[in-house]
Chain A
C-alpha cells in the first residue's frame, strides 16, 4: 500500500495563506490524492481531490508535484473555523474495481487570531 506522510502540526495566523504539505513517494499511477479535514467532535469531511493537475474549489487549492510524489493543500485565507486536522489520503484502485482510502496521520492546524 502507498503511504502518506504529513507534519504533525502547523500554525497559521488568521487571514494568512496556509500551505499544508504531504509526501506520497510510493504513489501509483492510478491513485488519486484526496484531502479531508476533521473538525473537533465530527467525522472527516471532503475538501478537494486531484490526479495530476492542480485543482481549485471554493474551499481550497491543491498543488500536485510533477512527479506526483508530493502535494500541497492551500488555504488562501485561514479563518478560525479552519482549525482542524487535515488528512492527505490516497485513493487506491483495487482489483475488485472498487476503491480503498489510505489515510495518513494528519496535520493538526491551529489558527491564531
Chain B
C-alpha cells in the first residue's frame, strides 16, 4: 500500500520560531510537493521538487524554504513563523512520468499548524 507520511498531525508554534515539517514517501517517487490549504482558497502550491537537491517555486513560496537531501524525504521550513502561516499543510508525491497524463499524486494526511 502506497504511503506518504507527515511528521505531525497537529503542531503549535510561536511567532518567530523556525518550523520544520517533514514528509516521507515509500514509493520511490521522483516528484514531491508541498501545499497549504485554507478555507475558501483550496490547495495552493508552495514548493515542489522533481529530484534530489532540486526544487521549484510554486505559487506562494514567500516565507518558506524546502530541502530534499534524500529521494524519499521532502522538508518544508518556515524560517520565522508568522500567524498568517497558520494553515493545513499537505505533502504529496508522484512518479516522474510513465503513461501520459497519469502522474497520480498521493497525499499525506496533512499537518495542521497553528502559529500563536
Chain A residues near B (Cβ < 8 Å) = 1, 32, 36, 41-46, 49-51, 87, 91, 94, 96, 98-106
* A96, chain B: closest CB distance, angstroms: 7
Measured CB to CB, the nearest residue on chain B to A43 is B107
Q: What are the 9 tightest A-B residue pairs by CB atom distance, in nearest-first order?
A: A43-B107, A105-B42, A103-B43, A98-B50, A32-B101, A46-B104, A103-B42, A44-B107, A43-B90
Instruction: Verify A91–B103 contact, CB threshold 8 A.
Output: yes
| Given A42-B107, A43-B92, A105-B41, 11 other A-B residues pairs in contact with their CB atoms under 8 A | A43-B107, A46-B104, A49-B101, A49-B102, A49-B104, A51-B101, A91-B101, A98-B31, A100-B48, A101-B33, A103-B43
Cα-based distance from A106 to B41 in the complex (angstroms): 9
Cα-based distance from A79 to B35 in the complex (angstroms): 29
Instruction: Verify A103–B92 contact, CB threshold 8 A.
Output: no
* B17, chain A: closest CB distance, angstroms: 25
Q: How many chain B residues touch the partner (CB < 8 A)?
A: 30
- Residues of chain B within 8 A of A32, CB atoms compared: 100-101
- Residues of chain A within 8 A of B58, CB atoms compared: 100
Asked if B56 lies at the interface with its beta carbon under 8 angstroms from chain A, I say yes
Measured CB to CB, the nearest residue on chain A to B109 is A43
Interface core residue of B4, B101, B102 (most chain A CB under 10 Å): B101
Asked if B44 lies at the interface with its beta carbon under 8 angstroms from chain A, I say yes
Cα-based distance from A102 to B50 in the complex (angstroms): 16
7 A-B contacts (beta carbon < 8 Å): A43-B110, A44-B105, A46-B105, A99-B94, A100-B58, A101-B33, A105-B40
